[in-house]
């Protein structure tokens, strides 16, 4: 199965600054990669699919890029509500797999 490695495990950023989260696949997943946001006690929320397409209602400060094995989720200007855990998922190859997550915390 395809292994997704997210880095860093924890990222400390100040509000208003830019954050870049990485997801690396052990083999190519084309552009079949999604990003999710998780907050305690809440359902995970789809942010990005197809590596770069924002889901409905997702603010434009969230953007996804990459293809093949290297992907990045960028949050251009962090808001207080953006501090959460972010996970990537590949759905190119069965079984689908997730990364271990990156915790984005307030600096």
Q: Which is nearer to other proteins, 16 or 43 (CB)?
A: 43
Taking the complex as a whole, the smallest distance from the CB of residue 60 to other proteins amounts, in Å, to 19
Which distant-in-sequence residues (6+ apart) come within 8 Å of 99 by Cβ?
Answer: 4, 5, 6, 23, 87, 88, 89
Q: Which is nearer to other proteins, 32 or 63 (CB)?
A: 32
Distance CA(86)–CA(95), nearest Å, equals 20
Interacting residue ranges for other proteins, rule: CB under 8 A:
1, 32, 34, 36, 41-46, 49-50, 55, 87, 89, 91, 94-101
Taking the complex as a whole, the smallest distance from the CB of residue 105 to other proteins amounts, in Å, to 15
Q: Quick one: how far is CA 9 from the chain centroid?
A: 12
Taking the complex as a whole, the smallest distance from the CB of residue 74 to other proteins amounts, in Å, to 19
> What DSSP state is assigned to residue 41?
T
Q: Which is nearer to other proteins, 1 or 17 (CB)?
A: 1
Taking the complex as a whole, the smallest distance from the CB of residue 39 to other proteins amounts, in Å, to 11
> Which H/E stretch holds residue 105?
strand 102-106
Residue whose pair of structure tokens reads 């292994």 in the numeric block? 3
């Amino acid at each position: 199965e395809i292994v997704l490695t997210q880095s860093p495990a924890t990222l400390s950023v100040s509000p208003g600054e830019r954050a870049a989260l990485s997801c690396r696949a052990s083999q190519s997943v084309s552009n079949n990669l999604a990003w999710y946001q998780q907050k305690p006690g809440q359902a995970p929320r789809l942010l990005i699919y197809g590596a770069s397409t924002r889901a409905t209602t997702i603010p434009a400060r969230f953007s996804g890029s990459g293809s093949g094995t290297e992907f990045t989720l960028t949050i251009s200007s962090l808001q207080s509500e953006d501090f959460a855990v972010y996970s990537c998922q590949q759905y190119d190859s069965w079984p689908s797999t997730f990364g271990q997550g990156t915790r984005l915390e307030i600096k």
